[in-house]
Structure 1
């Protein structure tokens, strides 16, 4: 059974360019004055250098908004690009335009992929976060502590707190290169000098034209001696992934000099044994 998760021309679209470095961004060499411990309205440049994972959400009654948490490890993640934001970790990936105006987050209507998840709670989580993002919440950022905290407060008293994790562009110091990789349904044993009995993903690169049509002939399957950030392989499922590939500066001995980060699963197929 084969599932196309998104129209391929959209999947081929270039990712948002990395914004210029912000003085408070991890790895930045710029200097700045000490950070004010009070929360302040953030600018889009700083927001874009983090992935924002929801870790707390309460209503006006002070009770946890359970609809925003599928389980203890799954909650919405928001990423800000150049005038656009995206929401992931739920049933569907959502995206739309945004601006920060008068201390509020103003989000345009959100488009989304059309996956039909069997778990209704996961679909309800998409609805719950979408409603609150479209409510023009007040936003503030606190940069003291180990990780920055983003807070959104709606007029009806809902308070959402997100914890920031540096994006791959911030961590690896560059925009990276978009590549497409097909992952075979089954892993195979492979030889690794540091990891005995290792099972490797079997992969091959894929190429597409501007219209999203496959071009060229895929090569032979090759073992991938490293993981793909953000990707969890399910045995028996073949996937085509859109990835960002980053160069790693001064990698340790016997470590890869590139990193692969999942951007989108564009095709999935259950392969019968």
Structure 2
């Protein structure tokens, strides 16, 4: 059995960016939430997914929406530790940001360096990397009842994005997470799940690292009866994952006491059979 390692540590490099068009679709949402305006903390409380985009002339712009062959979802922004992180592109892109009232200042984007076989997605990534540092104004309108909050971002050239918010795990669970690392084996395994017949468990082991990044501990392989939010297992590929583990407030019967949320894929290994 041979392995080819593809590293996804947050190596960063400035992007040389060019404007490119893409095709796809996103449904128009003519009305926004009816709740009060949000403050700067509301930026960090939600995952923001792009729902509408407009050209500088005010017409709806579909070029920010594509049907990705890799199964990526809508463009998503997360505001974490004074950085805005862009997900669902080929790479994870990020930039520093600061808020001054309703103004937002975004630094040059940085990115991981994973290869991408989806040309449309790579073109969209380049387009996002070019426009993001030109953001100039933001506004959050909170929802009422079942309404999702809405983030509006406006850019220097007049382009406008409208993004709907989904609560982050920390917002949902009301406490800071514990950071852990799990290695996930390349294949699921049969296991005796108390609620699901013929369940296939992930097989995992805990990894620990010292402050210098050197591995200090590798635990035994164990069946993992839960799922990891944000992680989609691909058979034949093993991964080391950085996980945010949250303590559940109200634990359902026969459920885990923890919620596991993917923070980052640290490394991947593709299993090759002779």
Alignment TM-score, normalising by the size of structure 2? 0.83
Q: Is the 8 A contact 1:138 1:154 kept in 2?
A: yes
Q: Distance in 2 between matches of 1:183 and 1:81?
A: 26
Q: Which residue of 2 aligns with 1:15?
A: none
Q: Using the TM superposition, give the Cα deviation of residue 161 of structure 1 relative to its aligned residue in structure 2, in angstroms.
A: 0.7
What is the number of residues matched between the two proteins? 245
Q: Is the 8 A contact 1:59 1:65 kept in 2?
A: no
Q: Which residue of 2 aligns with 1:187?
A: 188
Q: Which residue of 1 aligns with 2:258?
A: 258
Q: Which residue of 2 aligns with 1:57?
A: 53
Q: Distance in 1 between matches of 2:113 and 2:89?
A: 12
Q: Distance in 1 between matches of 2:61 and 2:84?
A: 25
Q: Using the TM superposition, give the Cα deviation of residue 252 of structure 1 relative to its aligned residue in structure 2, in angstroms.
A: 1.0
Structure 2: give runs of 5+ residues left out of the alignment: 13-32
SS at 1:171 equivalent: helix
RMSD: 2.2
Q: Using the TM superposition, give the Cα deviation of residue 107 of structure 1 relative to its aligned residue in structure 2, in angstroms.
A: 0.3
Once superposed, which parts of structure 1, at least 4 consecutive aligned residues long, lie more than 4 Å away?
36-40, 70-73
Within 5 Å, give how 1:150-161 maps onto structure 2: 150-161=151-162
Q: Which residue of 1 aligns with 2:42?
A: 46
Within 5 Å, give how 1:40-189 maps onto structure 2: 40=37, 42-61=38-57, 62-71=59-68, 74-145=73-144, 146-189=147-190
Higher strand share: 2
Q: Is the 8 A contact 2:53 2:64 kept in 1?
A: no
SS at 1:121 equivalent: helix
Q: Using the TM superposition, give the Cα deviation of residue 39 of structure 1 relative to its aligned residue in structure 2, in angstroms.
A: 7.5
Alignment TM-score, normalising by the size of structure 1? 0.83
Q: Which residue of 1 aligns with 2:8?
A: 5
Q: Distance in 1 between matches of 2:152 and 2:211?
A: 39
Q: Is the 8 A contact 2:39 2:140 kept in 1?
A: no
Q: Could you say if the C-alpha distance between residues 119 and 80 of structure 1 is closer, same or farther in structure 2, counting changes exceeding 3 Å?
A: same
Structure 1: give runs of 5+ residues left out of the alignment: 11-35
Q: Distance in 1 between matches of 2:84 and 2:65?
A: 18
